[in-house]
């Protein structure tokens, strides 16, 4: 009897695996074809619905690329902590992704949804990418600081060289002056032995030559000074450019740090899934977790919105976009009006019960326009009926 049970259990696993590998229903359930590409399912109008989020494999590849960029930027020296943390996030994402692609996991996808597992992989891969980008930014910041220090040293060396040149030029002027005075004295002694007319003519000629030499020397001096000033101006301009680039880099790094903190706090909101996209933190909550069957905010929904209000108060400078969506059941215009009413109710609750500034919030009802799951299944329609609260964090 024992061996008979084992044989039946093994037969069941092989049967499930065979069906998942051959059946098109299995391919739709898992969200991927046998070639590893995401399946695009036509909606009721015949058009193809494009997923709102990238696949786990794409997110993992982006995280790998970000870690490689950070490594090439010498983050192992300048930001070893962030780089190690990014590698840890990536390792966890790859481990979960490998598990989700295993024979047993592929078999169970016929009866068990892997949406939560996919979201976890996307979160881990996204955190790996963001942490790696932070490490790269720190490394590049350190590189810019080093280059700025070297530029300042070069500027000091050039100033010292300019001082040496000016000193040598002054010494040359003095030597030429002494030499000219000696030649003039010698010429005076010679002129004393010649006739007055010849002496006067020679004296005028020598004075003219002295004026020409003085003019030539002055021109050479002015040229050297002009060249030195031009080089100094170029160095100052380059320094200002590098300081501006450093400031921009610091601003971007501050924005990344802020996004990281906002993302970490948003994850704490119960019943919500969170992602960072297009300079905003998007908090995704199922409509059933906020609204009752009569389209009113129920007690648990108020509790969830209380958590959202606390989050908005912690980051008061970010603009808020409330976007409500529905599935494709019924007429599109009716669904749009329904989601618009829901968006207005969410905004009203945040304004009336938590004093969130009304001009900070924009509420929109978008109906079935942007599905994130397959509307042909009950679970997919439930995912599409959602409330998204986007909080901008800027650059």
- In this predicted model, what pLDDT tens digit does every residue of 368-392 receive, in sequence order? 999 999 999 999 999 999 999 999 9
The 8 Å CB, 24+ separation contacts for 51-56 are 51/372, 52/370, 52/371, 52/372, 53/122, 53/275, 53/372, 54/122, 56/93, 56/97, 56/100, 56/118, 56/121, 56/122, 56/125
| Ramachandran bin of 40, using left for φ above 0, alpha for ψ from -120 to 50, beta for the remaining angles | beta
Question: Which single residue is written with the structure tokens 């190690």?
Answer: 84
Q: Is 297 in the same domain as 315? A: yes
Collect all residues with Cβ–Cβ distance below 8 Å to 52 and sequence separation of at least 6.
Answer: 370, 371, 372
Closest CA to 127 of 32, 30, 266, 246: 266
Q: Determine the pLDDT at residue 37.
A: 40
- Report pLDDT digits (tens) over 44-71: 455 445 556 688 989 999 999 999 999 9
Question: How many domains would you assign to the chain?
Answer: 2
214 in a structural domain: yes
> What's the pLDDT score for residue 316?
93
The tokens describing 100, both together, are: 């989700």
Do 249 and 154 belong to one domain? yes
Asked whether residue 340 is domain-assigned, the answer is yes
Could you tell me the CATH number of the domain that includes residue 352? 3.30.1330.60
Q: Which residues form the domain of 214? A: 144-260
**Of 225, 241, 260, which one is at a domain's C-terminal end?**
260
Q: Give the residue carrying structure tokens 């020679």.
A: 202
Per-residue tens of pLDDT for the chain, all 395 residues: 544 544 444 444 444 444 343 333 333 233 333 334 444 444 545 544 555 668 898 999 999 999 999 999 898 888 899 999 999 999 999 999 888 877 656 665 544 556 888 898 999 989 999 998 999 999 999 888 888 888 888 888 878 888 887 888 888 788 788 788 878 888 887 887 788 678 788 888 888 887 888 888 888 888 888 887 888 888 888 888 888 888 878 777 877 888 899 999 999 999 899 999 888 999 999 999 999 989 999 999 999 999 999 999 999 999 999 999 999 998 999 999 999 999 999 999 999 999 999 999 999 999 999 999 999 999 999 999 999 999 998 65
Given 225, 260, 295, the domain boundary residue is: 260
Residues 247 and 280 placed together within one structural domain of the fold: no
Tell whether 211 and 155 lie within a shared domain: yes
Enumerate residues 6+ apart whose C-beta is below 8 A from 130.
Answer: 256, 259, 260, 263, 276
What is the reported pLDDT for 104? 58
Q: What is the pLDDT of residue 38?
A: 44
| Domain assignment of residue 190, yes or no | yes
The answer to whether the CB of 141 falls within 8 A of the CB of 249 is yes
Residue in 78, 213, 224, 54 with CA at minimum distance from that of residue 138: 78
Is residue 295 located within the same domain as residue 364? yes
Instruction: Based on the fold, state whether residues 148 and 250 are members of the same structural domain.
Output: yes
Q: Verify that 271 and 287 share a domain, yes or no.
A: yes
């Amino acid at each position: 009897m024992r061996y008979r049970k084992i044989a039946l259990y093994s037969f069941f696993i092989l049967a499930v695996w065979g069906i998942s590998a051959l059946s098109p229903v299995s391919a739709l359930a898992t969200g991927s074809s046998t070639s590893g590409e995401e399946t695009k399912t036509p909606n009721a109008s015949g058009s193809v619905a494009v997923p709102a989020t990238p696949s786990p494999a794409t997110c993992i590849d982006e995280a790998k690329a970000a870690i490689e960029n950070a490594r090439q930027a010498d983050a192992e020296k300048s930001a070893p902590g962030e780089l190690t943390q990014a590698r840890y996030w990536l390792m966890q994402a790859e481990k979960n992704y490998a598990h989700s692609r295993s024979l047993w996991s592929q078999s169970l996808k016929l009866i068990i949804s892997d949406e939560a597992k996919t979201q976890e992989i996307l979160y881990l891969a996204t955190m790996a990418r963001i942490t790696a980008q932070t490490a790269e930014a720190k490394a590049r910041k350190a590189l810019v600081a080093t280059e700025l220090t070297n530029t300042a040293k070069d500027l000091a060396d050039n100033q010292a060289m300019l001082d040496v040149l000016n000193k040598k030029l002054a010494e040359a002027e003095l030597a030429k002056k002494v030499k000219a005075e000696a030649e003039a004295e010698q010429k005076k002694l010679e002129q004393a032995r010649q006739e007055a007319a010849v002496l006067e003519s020679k004296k005028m000629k020598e004075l003219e030559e002295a004026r020409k030499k003085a003019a030539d020397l002055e021109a050479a001096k002015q040229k050297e000074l002009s060249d030195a000033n031009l080089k100094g101006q170029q160095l100052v301009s380059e320094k200002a450019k590098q300081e501006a680039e450093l400031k921009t880099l610091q601003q971007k790094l501050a924005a990344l740090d802020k996004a990281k903190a906002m993302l970490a706090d948003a994850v704490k909101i119960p019943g919500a899934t969170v992602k960072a996209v297009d300079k905003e933190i998007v908090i995704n909550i199922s409509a059933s977790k906020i609204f009752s069957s009569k389209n009113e905010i129920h007690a648990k929904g108020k509790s969830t919105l209380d958590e959202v209000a606390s989050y908005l108060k912690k980051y008061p400078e970010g603009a808020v976009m409330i976007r409500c969506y529905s599935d494709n059941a019924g007429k599109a215009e009716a669904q749009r009006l329904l989601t618009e009413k829901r968006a207005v109710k969410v905004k009203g609750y945040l304004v009336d019960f938590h004093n969130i500034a009304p001009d900070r919030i924009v509420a929109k009802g978008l109906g079935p326009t942007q599905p994130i799951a397959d509307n042909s299944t009950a679970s997919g329609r439930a995912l599409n009926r959602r409330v998204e609260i986007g909080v901008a964090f800027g650059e």
